[in-house]
A and B are shown apart, each in its own frame.
Chain A
């Protein structure tokens, strides 16, 4: 099993009442509510927590990127990745993910990840995403071309990492007269690419067709079976048999010495009214042209108030369904066994701390996860044969799979 620590780096110090008053906590939620003194303190605390996560035995540290919102203080994923490359020695740096379509220069992004891969001595996993709809607004990147830009930026990135320059790139959305970045990734032919998502069938199929592991972001456990069916069908269509090595799962897990304290801190996962990408209007979440045509009517009805917005289930319900796990180490291990048996991922991202959980509680959570929960998870993983891509040496993509190993269905 590959076990990774994650925090979305919440700005727990923001005035929550202002968010409730505004009715949203993204895009237009004013940054006058950001306190840089508190921001600096929180960033420094994260440094200690990440070092601790490595020390207690995590295999990876996951980082992500969001904009204009108190739920995430990582507006540039490569910045924290770079810091991790310098302050850690062993853990993988797992980017889930780089919002490729929102970058105006995929070439410069390729240069950045080459630097991170070399400085970390080959510890980078470079996940890629389309970026949530709000990011298209915040970064003013045209959502109508988001998927096209994602595909093209991906293709350019792969070519940049796997072929010698110089070459020219004359794409639909990106053009370079010279692609010839001096710095190149250490991991050859390129770092592993993982694809996180919240259950978009198009993205699931895309990931499967490229043989990139799909990291399901806190999808309700009872839906993960359907999710893997979509992935598996696409995988078999292109010629390989998928397994746990293709599957990742991100889950909110908070552990403390006592159940009472764990539940108190665990309730902080509900701080954005339980919406882990914050609270935004549906027309920000699905800006023009961002969604697929098949769901246009649903999204448009949502945007215009004709369908109820899906609100997160109450905390106690989420505990019962294991969408949130909070408790003592033993309680968490028991709940996570159910998660592993049901979802069967080989890559597990433990989202440990959220909201206003303070540094002391965050630290204790990481210690307990590392010293008590992780060893148990590894045993369960062995018992359930949940081997991760590193253990199995799985090809890093379909393109880099030996042709004789591929047997397309039908």
Chain B
């Protein structure tokens, strides 16, 4: 494991199954791990910083995303969840509170069904992974990178607070690599797994499901299903917020997560 300290927190690299996993780390206290959206983790975000005021936060780039190397053999989201599970064992913090956002929420849910004892708490934020019965999960393949990421926000101001007004080469390259990795594991079926739902009732972990009331990427009905299927879950809807609650309402989400962790 190598550690580089920056003003934004530490960048830590851990090797698991020959895959180098890069993570932002910061703060002290109860361990919290945050898994990012399919479009990746652009930086040490305000959500991470706020959580790090009271917790030891680690935000890895998922295998094959961002600065983490690609597991060329990975074929579905369970493979990523498996790697994250082994990464958690490797960093050795004991059971962690696992927060998964969007696509990362799906990874978190898969990890929860295969290794619940690794988790102290589960938080799913606009999580993919369940096929909606009424609506559809927005298909990123049919729209441009910037259209897709923009759709994850309820308003443009919140988007620009994270990504700025310009599309830089670095950002575009990161989005495209992340999009490719998403396709490698979630092309078909797109963004859900029929084998996940039957196992969710086994997850005996305190769970919080958070959804943006104006989510245009993953329908709120998926949040309602998660909350109904997970035996110890409650649902919080953040009114007026888009899909990326972690980026659009970082303080509010950090408070919800902290309260959830503190409660049980």
Contact = CB atoms under 8 A, between A and B. Distances in A.
Interface of A: 27-28, 137, 140, 142-145, 281-284, 287-289, 296-297, 299-301, 303-306
Contacts of A300: 145, 172-173, 175-176
Contacts of A145: 184
Contacts of B176: 288, 296, 299-300, 303
B73 to A, nearest CB: 9
B144 interface: yes
B172 A297 contact: yes
B191 to A, nearest CB: 13
Interface string B139-175: 0011111100000000000000000000101001101
9 contacts: A140-B187, A142-B183, A282-B144, A283-B142, A287-B183, A288-B183, A288-B187, A296-B176, A297-B172
B151 to A, nearest CB: 14
Contacts of A284: 142
Contacts of A305: 144, 146
B180 A303 contact: no
A152 B173 CA distance: 28
Contacts of B167: 304, 306
B142 A28 contact: yes
A28 B141 CA distance: 12
Given A142-B183, A283-B143, A296-B173, 16 more contacts: A28-B142, A137-B142, A142-B184, A144-B184, A144-B187, A281-B144, A282-B144, A288-B176, A288-B179, A288-B180, A296-B177, A299-B176, A300-B145, A300-B176, A303-B176, A304-B146
B144 A143 contact: no
Grouping DSSP codes into helix (H, G, I), strand (E, B) and loop, the A interface class, with mixed when no group exceeds half, is: helix
A287 B141 CA distance: 7
A334 B62 CA distance: 60
Chain A CB within 10 A, most for which of B169, B179, B187? B187
A288 B148 CA distance: 13
Contacts of A301: 169, 172
B207 interface: no
B141 A137 contact: yes
Contacts of A282: 144
B182 interface: yes
Contacts of B188: 140, 142
Contacts of B175: 300
B173 A297 contact: yes
A140 B186 CA distance: 12
Interface in B97-142: 141-142
Contacts of A288: 141, 176, 179-180, 182-183, 187
Interface string B191-204: 00000000000000
The 10 closest A-B pairs by CB, nearest first: A288-B183, A289-B180, A142-B187, A144-B183, A300-B176, A300-B172, A288-B180, A288-B179, A144-B184, A304-B146
B91 to A, nearest CB: 29
Residue from the set A27, A299, A301 with the largest chain B CB neighbour count within 10 Å = A301
A284 B188 CA distance: 16
Contacts of A287: 141, 183
Given A143-B183, A144-B184, A288-B182, A304 B169 contact: no
A46 B35 CA distance: 55
Nearest to A140: B188
Contacts of A140: 187-188
A287 B177 CA distance: 12
B176 to A, nearest CB: 4
A410 to B, nearest CB: 30
Contacts of B142: 27-28, 137, 283-284
Identify which of B143, B145, B175, B183 gathers the most chain A CB atoms within 10 Å of its CB: B183
A143 B179 CA distance: 11
B117 to A, nearest CB: 33
